[in-house]
Amino acid sequence: MKDFEPRIIGFLCNWCSYAGADAAGSARKIYPPNVKVIRVMCTGRIDPQFVLKAFQSGADGVLILGCHPGDCHYKEGNYNALRRFHLLRTMLAQFGIEKDRVRLDWVSASEAEKFVATVNDMVKKVKILGPLRKTAVA
Amino acid sequence: MAKPKVAFYWCASCGGCEEAVVDLAENILKVVEAVEFVLWPVAMDFKIKDVEALQDGEIAVSFINGGIRTGEQEHVAKLLRKKSGLVVAFGACAHLGGVPGLANFSNRDRIFDYVYHKSPSVDNPERIVPQEKTVVREGELTLPEFYNTVHTLDQVIDVDYYLPGCAPPPDLIMNAVEAILTGNLPEKGAVLSPDKSLCDTCKRKVTKPEKTVIREIKRVHEVMLDPEKCFLDQGIICVGPATRDGCGERCINANMPCRGCFGPTSRVDDQGAKFLSALASIIDADSEDAINKITDSIADPAGIFYFYSLPASMLKRRLDI
């Protein structure tokens, strides 16, 4: 599985994490290009259907990044994301989707370093897991 | 004028849908008077070759219940599609995969292994399992292929309408039959039931607080349920928020929570994920540990959230086996 390059969908909140990713880019930090970023206004907007859609469409992992608890632009959208996240991961495990394929973390607008470290770590873990297996459906 | 020809067929389901037709009571006489049955294996003796002898499109409408689990079911579904003007997916299993669709959390090998070897009541020392072909002295015997995955009817053939429910209630069946007989039909692909959530007409809505909060999840056998109060407000999982209305609330009236047999409304692609979202949002906890403690107390979340709709969900089945 040496050549496997995971496809990871990153849902980044507009107010903190997207700005954090932007800061990483402006600072010319180097990180793997495996994460395709989708900007959302808030992690609280991320319907679990979005995560399933990502896996259905061929993603090997989903990364959700939002404002630190207490810092949400909409006060508690990130708490809503947190409430959904653990249950979603538990449920996805029943579908045979390993826990490391879905990650929720907090990245502020100034945390370019943390953004890079999180992406690095996520890519590393999904590489170890390999492609999301697709069972023959017949 | 010749009566319109009608077929009923039974795929991977429990037989409750056939029972629902019989439950039309005296109304069934109206149906029998108005139509001519050309296939109804549970009630009348027709053969597949009788259907094969019909011209394409000659059957006015075929009602097919059950998911598609075997090669034979797929074959008959395709045959009926060819011979029918309209095909109605009848009941939750044809519509969404239904309870048999929960087998998609497993696969053929595991199912066969359990059923023919590991099940405590099985005595099978020679480890015999059904084969698609078996040669005996008299010739070759065949059985239909058992698929790895249960499919909804519309994953196998084109479906015109859906009659939801486990089983569909008699009033919805009668409405559908009348609509078909009079040609007064909605647009193709419609689910023949109101397109709003069950909570909208639930009689317990009046007791629902402004903001429902859950601090503890309980199961129905663990508590005495208040027959007036919203289930979710009592900490009982009720899939009503993510389920289509129109069932007549038979479960709710019997003091049992909704399990989602009518499927989602037209704005939802994945009933289980949508319900997960609704449930998680009313959990009253902010710290990760407290949230995890509550969600960990849900026994078999995927099994409850997709009780009737796993084959129709975005992921359709367990992916790693």
Residue A94 burial (C-beta neighbours within 10 Å; 0-12, 13-18, 19+)? middle
Asked if B42 contacts B95 with a C-beta cutoff of 8 angstroms, the reply is no
The shortest C-alpha distance from B293 to chain A (Å) reads 10
Taking CA atoms, what residue in B is nearest to A80?
B281
Contact A88 B276 (CB under 8 A): yes
Binary contact (B318, A94; C-beta < 8 A): yes
- Please state at what angle helix A77-94 crosses helix A48-56, rounded to 10 degrees: 40
Query: B273 to chain A: which residues are within 8 Å by CB?
Result: 47-49, 51-52, 88
Contacts of A56 in chain B (CB under 8 A): 314-315
Instruction: Convert the pLDDT of each residue in B175-198 to its tens digit.
Output: 998 998 898 999 999 999 999 999
DSSP state of B89: E
Given pLDDT bands bounded at 50, 70 and 90, which one contains residue B2? confident
Q: Which helix (H) or strand (E) holds A11?
A: strand A8-13
* pLDDT tens sequence across B263-315: 999 999 999 999 999 999 999 998 999 999 999 999 899 999 999 999 999 99
ipTM, two decimals, is 0.93
Kindly report the average pLDDT of chain B as a whole number: 94
- Residue B185's pLDDT is what? 92
Whole-number average pLDDT of chain A: 94
Predicted confidence at residue A62, as pLDDT, reads 98
Q: Of B15-19, B27-31, B105-109, B119-123, which range is least confident?
A: B27-31
Show the beta-strand stretches assigned E in chain B. 5-10, 36-39, 59-65, 68-70, 84-90, 133-136, 139-142, 146-151, 161-163
- Name the token pair of B287: 């710290």
From A111, A48, A13, select the one nearest B270 (Cα to Cα): A48
Chain A residues in contact with B301 by the CB 8 A cut-off are 87, 90-91, 94
- Region for B295 from its dihedrals, namely left if φ exceeds 0, alpha if ψ lies in -120 to 50, beta otherwise: alpha
Q: Which residues contact B231 (CB under 8 A, 6 or more apart)?
A: B204, B225, B237, B238, B240, B257, B258
Provide mean pLDDT across the span A23-44: 97
Please check whether residue B46 is in contact with residue B40, taking contact to mean a CB–CB distance below 8 angstroms: yes
Q: Which residue in A58, A130, A123, A47 sits closest to A81, CA to CA?
A: A47
Phi, then psi, of B130 in degrees rounded to 5: -65, 140
pLDDT for B99: 97
Query: Among all residues of chain B, which has the CA nearest to that of A83?
Result: B280
pLDDT of residue B27: 86
pLDDT digits (tens, 9 = 90+) for B6-58: 999 999 999 999 998 888 888 888 888 889 999 999 888 999 999 999 999 99
- Predicted local confidence at residue A133, as pLDDT: 77
Q: Residue A12 has what pLDDT? A: 98
- The percentage of residues in chain B with a pLDDT greater than 90, rounded to a whole number, is 87
Percent share of chain A, pLDDT over 70:
95
DSSP designation for A132? P
Token code pair at residue B22: 């019989």
Q: List chain A residues with CB under 8 Å of B270.
A: 48-49, 52
Q: State how far the Cα of B91 lies from the Cα of B108, in Å rounded to an integer.
A: 24
Is residue A138 predicted with pLDDT exceeding 60? Answer: no
Question: Looking at residues B237-248, what average pLDDT do you find?
Answer: 96
Give the torsion sign (CA, B143, B148, B153, B157). Answer: negative
**Nearest Cβ partner of B276 from A55, A91, A95?**
A91
Which residues of chain B make contact with A133, given a CB cutoff of 8 A? 319-320
Distance in Å, alpha carbon of B268 to nearest chain A alpha carbon? 9
B58: CB partners within 8 A, 6+ apart: B5, B83
What is the length of chain A? 138
Is A56 within 8 Å of chain B by CB? Answer: yes
CB A131 within 8 A of CB A101: no
Residue B132 CA to residue B164 CA, distance in Å, equals 33
**In the structure, what pLDDT confidence band is assigned to residue B220 with cuts at 50, 70 and 90?**
very high
CA–CA separation, A77 and B67 (whole Å): 39
Residue in the block written with tokens 């009592």: B234
B320 neighbourhood in chain A, CB within 8 Å: 96-97, 133, 135
Q: Residue A1: pLDDT band by 50, 70, 90 thresholds?
A: low
Whether residue B172 lies within 8 A of chain A, CB to CB, comes out as no
Predicted confidence at residue A137, as pLDDT, reads 55
Give residue B68's pLDDT band: very low, low, confident or very high (50, 70, 90): very high
Q: Report the amino acid identity of residue A28.
A: R
**Cβ atoms B24, B17 nearer than 8 A:** no
Q: What radius of gyration, in Å, describes the C-alpha atoms of chain A? A: 15
Chain A interface, best mutation among B217, B295, B304, by max A CB count within 10 A: B295
**pLDDT number for residue B137:** 96
Record the tokens describing residue B235, joined without a space: 């900490």
* Sign (positive or negative) of CA dihedral B287, B289, B290, B296: positive
Angstrom distance (rounded) from CA B244 to CA A47: 19
